[in-house]
Structure 1
Amino acid sequence: MTAKETGALEVVRDEKIEPKRAGEIGFGDLIAPLTPDVFFSEYWEQKPLVTRGRARGFFAPLFSTQDVDRAICYLKPGPGRLDLVTEGGFVRDNFLGPDGAANINLVYESYLKGSTVILSGLEETWETLAVFSRRVEGLLSHPVAIAVYLTPPNHRGVQPHFDTQENFILQVEGVKHWKLYPPLRELPPVEGSYMPVPREKLPAPLCETELHPGDMLYVPRGFVHEAKAADSASLHITVDVHVRTWHDLLSDALAAMAAREPTLRKSLPPGLLSNDRSRASLEAGFRELMGLLPHEVRLSDALNKHAEKLIVSRPPPPDGHFAMLHADIGLNTPLRKRAAMLTRLLQEEGLGGIQFSGNQILGPAKIAEATRYIDESRVVVPAHLPGGLSDNEKLVLVRRLVRVGLLTLAREESAEDKQ
């Protein structure tokens, strides 16, 4: 612990984390030297954690202070994507023009008066953070959102609050002093929102710490926290994990059951809130449905819906794939999955296939072994596909997977692919 660290805060250090390029940084780098198994069993949704030991500029390839005005000017973030915040709350000065774009000079002025600049939604609009977020999602199987906070020297950022998502705070530049308080509610519902807490209602601090460039702070949802920049400007990246819960899983399973079972699609009895006969009918119907649940609610249905939301509905980060659509692909052409691609194998009776970022294919069972090989391999050579497919069938499959966006050429492997 440093002189600024107090209370029940777990701090771990790793002196072996070397600088990496943006496309190489993954979830393991945030929690090192802990393994994912240790982190998820001892910290996840339970208690805060600080990890140290990375190079000072470790997180800068993802986003830095030099990127802030570029993002504002070129991405033109509107309300909800660009916010100015002080300890007193959100700045309501009209810094957005008639076209919804920010007046950068008004943003500079507000920042110099003490406002923290917040850029949100960068997992969708900033390439390095889009790739990083998909890599994190691939390990967690939960949706990820990313925001950047630039706080002027000696100013507080957002007022004391708790979040309804899991937060990983990556310190990029400057130093920030953090205070953490116990949760006011255990595991609040995941709403993707920030809940301010009046100072008079704050409990005694649980712990304090300073984050320096390269440090990471994990704050489980529900833990109240606040921060103040030191003598220089502070920039940090917040990785928000909007976890899907058991409630979400059951809701998805019931939705799938309703698609199959007409009984669930019937209306409730008219007058159920005021009529005794309707309430009796409701009671009987409820008991009948509860009897159906153990037989009709399927985990596979819920997982399919989860995959559709996390994987199939969200294309991978753009990488010039148009140039691949007319590529000459033969039996010995080396291919690979596109960067930051999330995948999930599909195997049903008589069918095989694969779900992947932005799309999916489903075909006869004879392609199941080949799609498994494609999913598990770093480099795919069509001639090597297993499963007894003919040469023509192998080419048809891989050419289709190029067209629908899973595969690309592997002639020049990136550092990410070599990990």
Structure 2
Amino acid sequence: MDSLLRLVDDLRVLRQAWDREPFVSTGLDDFGDVFSLESAERLIHSGLPLTAVRLFRDGRRLPSEVMLRSRGSSPRSREKLADGGRITDLVAQGATLALEELQTHCPEVAAFAAQVALETGYEVDATAFLTPPRARGVAPHYDLLGVFLRQLHGSKRWRISAPVRRWPSRVEAVDPAEVGEPLLDVVLKEGECLYVPHGFVHVGDTTDEPSLHLTIGLHGVTWERVLRSLLAAAAEQYEELREPVPPAFMDLDVAALYRERVELLTAHLAGLDWSRAPVDRVRAEQPPAPPAPGSLATALDRAGGLRH
């Protein structure tokens, strides 16, 4: 559990709080080998696709066009890329920068995410948020997954409230009138990490200093998805579950038909070996971490050896 212990200071607390309550871990190690302010700067000047970058000001998202990089009229230049210079100017004007899909664009983050995925069995994604002093990036919201907010630079005040609806399955705008008093109100500092469960409403504001934090999101598999997979497996086995529902003009006892199909499904589920339930088969797979630096040169050497 080496990677998880870089996000929490006590696994026992995580087990007790998992998907139930937020908490803060302190005294964590330096995270510069995974991501840092320097990492963010390198990325924004590397030609990231526009879809991997978002900018916010006062809780509202700015249009992507404000950071579009000009690439001339070449037919090979159709992909829209983010302009690092424009992003830097907008941050200087008070905008919050969000770098998404870091597990795709940053090898160090990809390697860490792959390790967390191995330790949890969950698919992992990562987003970095850079916010200037005395600013709000994203408006109060909730996520459809549990997240770890690992503070990397500066500080940020977070207020976390109970879910309006427990374990929501879709994102909706948060009505401030429905949000209760914060369960947790904390200023997160470098070397600390905040765990926010699925559906808990949260909002962050910077203090008199800027903030860079990395959001590590864990995509869990819901019981609904597991049960859907079981129903699909039962339908493969029993032709009665693949039969179409009778049309309206048929003079049939619909209630009796429902009871028959439910009884069939119930009998099927009762006979399953639950120690072999197909949870693993419905998990999303974590993209593999990129090869270690130097692998391309090694590949060339191997290719050369094949020619002798």
TM-score, length basis structure 2: 0.82
* Structure 2: runs of 5+ lacking an equivalent: 70-77, 304-308
Aligned to 2:17: 43
Say whether the 8 Å CA contact 1:254–1:297 is kept in structure 2: no
Aligned to 1:66: 38
Q: Distance in 2 between matches of 1:282 and 1:208?
A: 54
Aligned to 1:221: 198
Aligned to 1:119: 99
Aligned to 1:279: 254
Q: Are residues 1:181 and 2:161 paired?
A: yes
> By how many angstroms is 1:324 displaced?
11
The count of aligned residue pairs is 290
> By how many angstroms is 1:222 displaced?
1.7
Trace 1:8-157 onto structure 2 (pairs within 5 A): 26-32=3-9, 34-35=10-11, 37-40=12-15, 42-55=16-29, 58-74=30-46, 76-79=48-51, 81-92=52-63, 94=65, 95-97=67-69, 99-157=79-137
Say whether the 8 Å CA contact 1:185–1:222 is kept in structure 2: yes
Q: Percent identity between the aligned chains?
A: 28
Say whether the 8 Å CA contact 2:59–2:137 is kept in structure 1: no
Check 1:281–1:100 CA distance in 2 against 1; reply closer, same or farther (3 A cut): farther
Q: Aligned with 1:230: secondary structure?
A: strand
Say whether the 8 Å CA contact 1:164–1:222 is kept in structure 2: yes
Say whether the 8 Å CA contact 2:234–2:265 is kept in structure 1: no
> By how many angstroms is 1:280 displaced?
4.8
Q: Distance in 1 between matches of 2:2 and 2:36?
A: 15
Cα deviations by residue, 1:239-258 (Å, 9 ceiling, x for unpaired): 11111122222222223333
Q: Distance in 2 between matches of 1:259 and 1:325?
A: 50
Check 1:264–1:175 CA distance in 2 against 1; reply closer, same or farther (3 A cut): same
Q: Distance in 1 between matches of 2:100 and 2:2?
A: 20
Among 169, 194, 211, the alignment partner of 1:234 is 211
Q: Are residues 1:293 and 2:268 paired?
A: yes
Q: Which one-letter code corresponds to 1:87 in the other structure?
A: D
Check 1:325–1:26 CA distance in 2 against 1; reply closer, same or farther (3 A cut): farther
Say whether the 8 Å CA contact 1:269–1:282 is kept in structure 2: no
Aligned to 1:18: none
Q: Aligned with 2:285: secondary structure?
A: helix
Check 1:179–1:295 CA distance in 2 against 1; reply closer, same or farther (3 A cut): closer
Q: Are residues 1:250 and 2:222 paired?
A: no
Say whether the 8 Å CA contact 1:269–1:281 is kept in structure 2: no
Q: Distance in 1 between matches of 2:224 and 2:162?
A: 24
Q: Aligned with 2:279: secondary structure?
A: helix
Among 161, 172, 179, the alignment partner of 1:202 is 179
